[in-house]
Structures are given as structure tokens and as C-alpha cells.
Amino acid sequence: MINILENINDVLWGTPSLILLVGTGLFLTLILKGLQFKRLGYAFKVAFTKDKEDDGTEGDVSNFKALMTSLAGMVGNGNIAGVATAVTLGGPGAIFWMWIVGLVGMATKYAEALLAMKYRVKNEDGEYSSGPMYYIERGIGKKWKPLAVAFAFFGAFAALGIGNSVQSNTIADVMENSFSINGLTTGIILVIFTSLIIFGGLQRISSVASVFVPIMALLYIGASLLIIGLNYDKIIPAFELIFTYAFNPVSAVGGFSGVVVSEAIRNGVSKGIFSNEAGLGTVALIAGNAKTSHPVKQALVAMTGTFIVTIIVCTMTGMVLLVTGFWDTTGGLLSGVSHDASLEAGALTSAAFGSTLGNIGEYVVSISVVFFGFSTILGWYVYGIKCFEYLFGLKYVSIYRTIYIGATFIGTIAQLTTVWAFADMANALMMIPNLIGLLLLYKVVASETNDYFSNFYKQSTKNIG
């Protein structure tokens, strides 16, 4: 079974899919005339500044809380172990390609959130529901509903796997290895805290995320900056490695086996997508709940999440690995470091932090893994419940909630090799319907964007300073 699933995933996540993902981002970047670069400063203002125009508008949570809930799902262990894997398998140049996929992915996220707002619906409880399934069915037409159903089905399944049990499994491993707390105890604690939060609905989840996400991100970024600062003499050489080996093969050196440029590109692109979820459609599942006066405003807010996750958080991990030399097992390309070559990706990041900050550094990574993983569980619950609601209606969401809590516990005590493989497959099968929807609705994205910047932008800039 594992071999079959891995073969399927090799196809689903192969070069054609990565080209489709990046190609969609490039296409939308051209259609939007590089909006993610020209309007990034304004987007951050909209995200973090109150706009009186949004007072009294329909929605369930503020722009900021929608962003934090989305970040809760994105800021996960892909930002730690995923980056380490990209660098150790693809070399320093993989970081450059992560940046590229993050920058073009901002246009993809923008389009997803805009369409989510445009085609959102109000459910029986008076709460908004949105996502690729709604903009596929309502935007393209009802004959495309099978594609919408496919997205929702695989989204609900992926939430149980990559968004939940896989995260709780990683948390349990860290709790046992770093704090000698067994999986059963971790499972019980996670179930209690997860239940207390998700039974409070979107309002409680978004409120927790709006406090939880900034604190955990600042802890990790702060520790990363401290390490980078203490190794200041290696900052410029590290950037030289990134730009040199983005376009040139890395020769075998020290404990590094050497890679060709295609490996740097493939690992950078795939791990970049894993960390920021651009193209998977997940941001659209929460964006439609935002209180905002125009779809473009929430779209701008959503794209800042990709910038934060990939350009800031992932870069921190990559730079720590480079300046400490822990990407290359004997420090062959950055002199002055030497260490064990047998470390796996997550442990490698922990060891890199520990090499400069001692035990405190290793604990920072361990705590970050726990909190990043828990935030992902909360964020993906929102994604999963929205997908399940689309498939079966509100009447049965309690069933999914129970299953979700059960998956949280199972993840802490079970081996999840098969679940990992199924979850990877489900992620890819979410991506395909979503990208089709984005490409077929690009004219709507362009039209709404032109409408906003022609008729509302000037007044909005006055309102938010």
C-alpha cells in the first residue's frame, strides 16, 4: 500500500504539478500587473490597521482574525523540518526557489481569497461559508459541481491527516524526546485543549489564533535573529551561497553529497508550497468569513500571510542552518563548523539552534514545533469543517468534529506512514480542482481588482492612514 501511494504521489507532486502551481501564480501575477509587489505595503496596512469602512459590514471575524486563523494553519512544522529538508536535499539554492514560489504564490493566494469573498454564502446558522467548492460551483457553473465536490472531499480528508494527526504525531515525538512525556499523556492533553477551543466555533478559534500566532511566530523569529546576529560574519557568505547555488550545481563537499540545479529547484518549490499552501485553496476556506467592505481588501490581507510564512519565517530557518553550517554536515562551504551527519531534518534545525544558544536553543525549536503543530490543528479544523459542511450540511458537522478530535488522539499514539502518504495525495487532489477554478475565473479576479483600485482605493488610504 505504501509503495502504491508513494508512486501515486510521485506523479501527483511531480514536475508537471509543480509547473502548474508556479505557472498559475506567474499567470495571475501578469494578469494583476505585479500587484503583490506594488501593493504589499498597503496590504499590510489593511491587515494590521482598523478601517472604519469595515464597521457594520457583513461577516464573522475581522480581517486580522481571518489572517491569524489562516496563519494558524500555515505556520507549521513545514517551516522548520520542511525548510531543513529542502536545504539538505537541494542545497542552499533551494531557499532562493522557495522565495520565488512564495512571491508568485502571493498572487495565487490573493485570487483565492478574492473569489472566496465574491462567492461566499451564508449558512443556516447565519455564518458565512466559502472556499473553492463555492467559487467553482457558483462562479463557473453548476455543471462543474463534481469538481467542487472533489475539492471538498479531499479537503475534509486532508484536514484529518496533514492538518491534524500528522501534526499531533510530531508533537508527541517532540514531547517524548525533549520533555519525557509519553504519547498517551500528550494525546489526552491535546484532546482537552483542542476540544475546548473548537467547540467554541470560529469566534473562539480566531480569537485564540489572534493571540497565539503572533506570540509563537515572534518567539521563533526572535531566536532566529539572535543566532543570525551572533554569526554576523557568515550572513553575507550565506546569501552568496543561496544566490550562487540557485543557478549552479553544488559539488560534493564535506558531508554534503552534491546536487544539480534541478534538485535545488524541485526541493525549493515543493517545500515552499508545503509551507505556504499557495494553490491548495485553504485560505479561501476562511477568507469568506472576514468583515470587509470589498473582496479585494481581504484578498490583499490574505496574500500577506504567504509573505510572512515563506519570505520571513522560512528564511529564518534557512539562514540559521546556513550560518551555523548545519545544512552541510562538516561545514565545507562555510568554515568553522563541524557536526554529526546523521541528524534528520527536524533534529537538524534543533541542533543548529542549540549550536549557538545551547539547550535553550534546542528548547526553542521543541516548543515551536509543539505550538506550530497545535496551531495547524486548529487552523485545519476550520478548513475541514467547511469542506464537510459543503458535502453534508450543518446537521452532521458534529460527526466530523468528533472524528477530528479522535484523529488528534490517534496521531499521538500511532505510526502514521500510511496517513502521511494519503494526506500528501489528498493535498494534491485539492490543488487540481482549485487551480482549474482560479484559471477559469481569472477575469473575475481582474475585474474586481480594477473596480477596487479605480473606485475605492483612494478613500481607503485616507481611512487607514
The pLDDT of 134-154, averaged and rounded, is 95
Amino acid found at 222: G
pLDDT at 308: 93
Highest mean pLDDT out of 167-176, 210-219, 292-301: 292-301
Counting residues of the chain whose pLDDT is more than 90, the rounded percentage is 51
Position of cell 543566532? 227
Q: Is the pLDDT of residue 244 over 60?
A: yes
pLDDT at 423: 72
Q: Is the pLDDT of residue 398 over 90?
A: yes
Q: Is the pLDDT of residue 86 over 90?
A: no
Query: CB atoms < 10 A from the CB of 247, how many?
Result: 11
Alpha-carbon distance 412 to 185, whole Å? Answer: 9
The pLDDT of 375-389, averaged and rounded, is 94
Candidate from 45-59, 87-101, 280-294 with smallest mean pLDDT = 45-59
pTM greater than the 0.85 cutoff: yes
Q: Is the pLDDT of residue 79 over 60?
A: yes
Could you read off the pLDDT of 311-356 as tens digits, one per residue? 999 999 999 999 998 876 544 455 444 444 334 666 778 888 888 8
Task: State the average pLDDT for the chain.
Answer: 87
In CATH, what is the architecture of 18-446?
Up-down Bundle (1.20)
SS in 3 state form for the chain? CHHHHHHHHHHHCCHHHHHHHHHHHHHHHHHCCCHHHHCHHHHHHHHHCCCHHHCCCCCCECHHHHHHHHHHHHCCHHHCHHHHHHHHHHCCHHHHHHHHHHHHHHHHHHHHHHHHHHCCEECCCCCEECCHHHHHHHHHCHHHHHHHHHHHHHHHHHHHHHHHHHHHHHHHHHHHHHHCCCHHHHHHHHHHHHHHHHCCHHHHHHHHHHHHHHHHHHHHHHHHHHHHHHCHHHHHHHHHHHHHCCCCCECCECCECCECHHHHHHHHHHHHHHHHCCCCCCCHHHHCCECCCCHHHHHHHHHHHHHHHHHHHHHHHHHHHHHCCCCCCCCCCCCCCCCCCCCCHHHHHHHHHHHHHCHHHHHHHHHHHHHHHHHHHHHHHHHHHHHHHHHHCHHHHHHHHHHHHHHHHHHHHCCCHHHHHHHHHHHHHHHHHHHHHHHHCHHHHHHHHHHHHHHCHHHHHHHCC
pLDDT at 78: 72
Q: Is the pLDDT of residue 257 over 60?
A: no
The pLDDT of 195-217, averaged and rounded, is 91
What is the separation of C-alpha 200 from the centre of its chain, rounded to a whole number of angstroms?
24
Residue 411 region, left (φ>0) first, then alpha (ψ -120 to 50), else beta? alpha
Can you state the angle between helices 15-31 and 417-440, rounded to 10 degrees?
30
Alpha-carbon distance 86 to 175, whole Å? Answer: 25
Counting residues of the chain whose pLDDT is more than 70, the rounded percentage is 92
pLDDT at 320: 93
pLDDT at 335: 45
Compute CA distances 127 → 124, 215, 286, 313, 355, whole Å: 7, 28, 11, 32, 49
